[in-house]
Amino acid sequence: MLFTKMDINQVHKWEKTVVEILNLDGWNLTWCGGEYEYFDAKGLTPKKNECVIEMKFRHKYYETKLLEKNKYQRLIQLPKKIHKLYLVFDSKGMYIFWLNRMNLPDIEKLNCPDTTLWTKKKKEKEVYLLDESLASYVNNESKFNRSI
């Protein structure tokens, strides 16, 4: 399994690593996850568009990728010119969702951990379950690859 149970310091290491890898691929990002922002990186896409990226590392693979409604709302309230990206890693691959113009599915209510850290305490949250087909970029075992 790619991601075992991680503490916040390990999550931050993964976020920094993702930023470094994307920067090798033409991005110009700065990690800002330790600053209590509601996104983990900010900077420029390879096409020089201003962007922010929220990252999630999931232990298990699910066909749909969970995005909390509150997280989405905070991101989408940023200025229109900023590209809002949601990046999900799971045991099968990496998925990047471009939220600016995405038609979101209906909101669902799920029992989720009450914090972003792993806990056994659950809380009902409003979420979107994003189908993999909505991703702007996918890199998984099938080698499907579609650039932003």
Average pLDDT over residues 21-25: 94
What pLDDT, on the 0 to 100 scale, is given for residue 119? 58
- Summarize pLDDT for 33-87 with one digit per residue, the tens: 776 678 999 999 999 999 999 999 988 889 999 999 999 999 999 999 999 999 9
Number of other CB atoms surrounding residue 19 within 10 Å: 22
8-103+131-139: CATH topology: Trna Endonuclease; Chain: A, domain 1 (3.40.1350)
In Å, what is the CA distance from 76 to each residue of 5, 18, 22, 81, 148? Answer: 30, 22, 22, 11, 18
pTM: 0.85
For residue 132, is pLDDT > 50? yes
Instruction: Indicate the domain borders of the chain.
Output: 8-103+131-139
Widest pairwise Cα distance in the chain: 42
Residue 147 has a pLDDT of: 43
pLDDT band at 9 (very low <50, low <70, confident <90, very high): confident
Report CA-CA distances (Å) from 35 to 40, 52, 83, 142. 9, 14, 20, 36
User: Which residue spans within the chain are E strands per DSSP?
Assistant: 28-31, 41-44, 50-57, 64-68, 83-90, 93-98, 108-113, 122-131, 137-140
Q: Which amino acid is at 54?
A: E
Percent share of the chain, pLDDT over 90 = 59
